[in-house]
Structure 1
Amino acid sequence: MMVASLLTVMGTAAAGSSKDKIESVPHQMAGSEAFLRYHPDLRWRREGVKSFDEGRFDDALAQLKRAAKYGDKPSQGLIAEMYWKGNGVETDRALAYAWMDLAAQRNYKSFTAMRELYWSKLTPDEQKRAINVGTEIYAEYGDDVALPRMTSVLRKAKRDVTGSRVGFVGNLDMQVRAENGEFAKIKGEDFYKDQFWEPELYVQWKDEFFENPFGGTVDVGELRREEESKTAAAEGKN
C-alpha cells in the first residue's frame, strides 16, 4: 500500500531528511514525549500507523482522525485508503475520494495522483456523493480550520518553555526519552529550531519531507524499446 509505506517512513524518521537536512537532531527527538506533547499531528499519526500495522483498524482510524484535525496530510491519505480498501471499515469509495482530495489539498504529488485515480473509478452517483461528503470533511479537517489548531498548540509550546513571555531558551542541553526507552542528549538550539516550532515553517518542513522522504534523486537513464534493452543486455554479457 503506497500511502501506508510512505507513512511508515515518515512516522519512524519524523526528524529526518528535508530539503535542508538536519544531521544534528537525532530521530529520538521526534519520538520523545517532550516533542510529541506539542506535535499532536505527529503523535497521533505515529499511534495510528502503529495500530494500522497491528491490524487494530478501529483504533487506527480514530487516531489518524485526531492527527488529521491538525492538518496532517499523510494521516488523511491513509484514512482515504482505509475507506477505499475497506480496512476495518465498510468500503466507501465516495468517502475515500473526499479524504484523498483533502490529503491532496497542498498538491502532494503522490496524493494528487491517487485522487485522480479514485475519481476515475467512481460511478456518476459516487462522484456526486463524494462532493457532498467532501464539504463536511473540509469543514472539520480542511487547512482553514486544522492549521489554526496546530498554530495554537505550537504557540502554547513557546509560552510553556520558560513559563514566561521570554520565549525559547536555546542554549540549554536537555535529556529526552525516546519511544524505545533510551535517553538522548539534545542541544536546546537543535531541539527548538524554528522549523519545528514556528507554525508556517513547521508546515513547510513537513511538506518538503513528505514530498522527498529519502532525500536525493534516482537517475533511471533514457527510455529504450524492449528489443534494444535485450540487445544491450546480451552485448554486455559478451
Structure 2
Amino acid sequence: MLAVFLPMPGPAVAQRAGADPVVMTDGFLAAHPDVRWRAEGARAYERKDYPGALERFKRAAYHADKPSQAIIADMYWQGTGVAQDRAMAYVWMDIAAERLYPDFLAQREFYWARLDDTQRKDAVARGQAVFAEYGDDAAKPRLEEMLRRGARTMTGSRVGFIGNLDIIPYTGPLAGTGMTIRGDQYYDRKYWQPQHYWRMQDAVWQVPRKGRVDVGDVQPLKAGEGE
C-alpha cells in the first residue's frame, strides 16, 4: 500500500493535508471535519479498532476527504475492519481519484487490473450510489458550509484583517504547551475560504509521494515517518 494512504497520527495527517499542526485546536477541527475525522480514524486504526476507524474515515470521506476515501478503499481491499470486498474497494479508490491526484490514480488502476470481469461489473453497478453520496458534487458543498460557518466566527474587520489576535490552545494537539497562535496564521484564508482550501489540497496531493511505488499490506506510520 502506498504510504500516502496510511493512517497517520493527527499532526502528521494535518501536515500532509496542508493544514499546519499549529492551528489544530478543537475549534479548528470542529470547522474542518475532513481533517478531524481522518485524525480520529488514524487513532482508532492505531488502537486496532478497525471498525471504529472505518466509521471515522467515512465521516471524513463524507466531507470530501480524498485520503480518507483512499484509506477506506484499502480497508475494503484488505478486509480490515470489514468483510473483504474488492469491487467496493475499487469504487472507493475511484472516488479518491476523482480529482486526478497521481497516487490515487495509480492505486485505482492497480485495483482495476486485479478485478475479474464479474467484480468489474459489480463495481460499476454499485458505484453510482456511493458516488452520489461521497463524490465531490455532494461532499464538497458540505465541507464548504462548515468552512463558511467557522469563518463567520472570526474576529476582525469586514475586509478580513485579523491583526495580532492571540489564540491560546487550551484544547487540541497543543493543549498545555503555553503556545499562542497569531490570528492571521489561524485565520489564513487557505484554511477558511473554500476556493483557497481546495487549491491548498490540490497543491499537496498533486505531488506524488517520492520513493514509494511498492504495494503491500497497510502499516500505520509513526509521527514523522514518510514525510
Q: TM-score, normalised by structure 2?
A: 0.82
2:63 and 2:139 in contact (8 A); partners too: yes
Where 1:55 maps in the other structure, the secondary structure is coil
Give 1:160 deviation, angstroms. Answer: 2.1
Where 1:182 maps in the other structure, the secondary structure is coil
**Inter-partner Cα distance in structure 2 for 1:43 and 1:97:** 25
More helix by percentage: 1
**Inter-partner Cα distance in structure 2 for 1:145 and 1:211:** 22
- Opposite residue 175 of structure 2, the aligned amino acid is G
Give 1:196 deviation, angstroms. Answer: 0.7
Choose 1 or 2 for highest CA Rg. Answer: 1
Where 2:94 maps in the other structure, the secondary structure is helix
Count, aligned residues: 208
1:100 is matched with which residue?
A: 93
- Opposite residue 28 of structure 1, the aligned amino acid is V
**Inter-partner Cα distance in structure 1 for 2:201 and 2:10:** 9
- Opposite residue 162 of structure 2, the aligned amino acid is G
1:109 is matched with which residue?
A: 102
- Opposite residue 37 of structure 2, the aligned amino acid is W
1:170 is matched with which residue?
A: 162
Change (3 A) 1:212 1:185: farther
2:216 is matched with which residue?
A: none
2:10 and 2:40 in contact (8 A); partners too: no
Q: Which structure 2 residue ranges, 5 or more long, are not aligned?
A: 212-227
Q: Kindly indicate whether structure 1 or structure 2 has the higher relative contact order, using CA contacts under 8 Å at least 6 residues apart.
A: 2
**Inter-partner Cα distance in structure 1 for 2:174 and 2:152:** 29
Aligned positions of 1:184-195 closer than 5 A: 184-195=179-190
User: Are residues 1:139 and 2:144 paired?
Assistant: no
**Inter-partner Cα distance in structure 2 for 1:213 and 1:94:** 25
Q: Which structure 1 residue ranges, 5 or more long, are not aligned?
A: 19-24, 219-238
Q: 1:45 aligns with which of 38, 61, 67?
A: 38
Q: 1:179 aligns with which of 173, 187, 196?
A: 173
2:5 and 2:71 in contact (8 A); partners too: no
User: Are residues 1:63 and 2:56 paired?
Assistant: yes
2:72 and 2:89 in contact (8 A); partners too: yes
User: Are residues 1:35 and 2:28 paired?
Assistant: yes
1:14 is matched with which residue?
A: 14
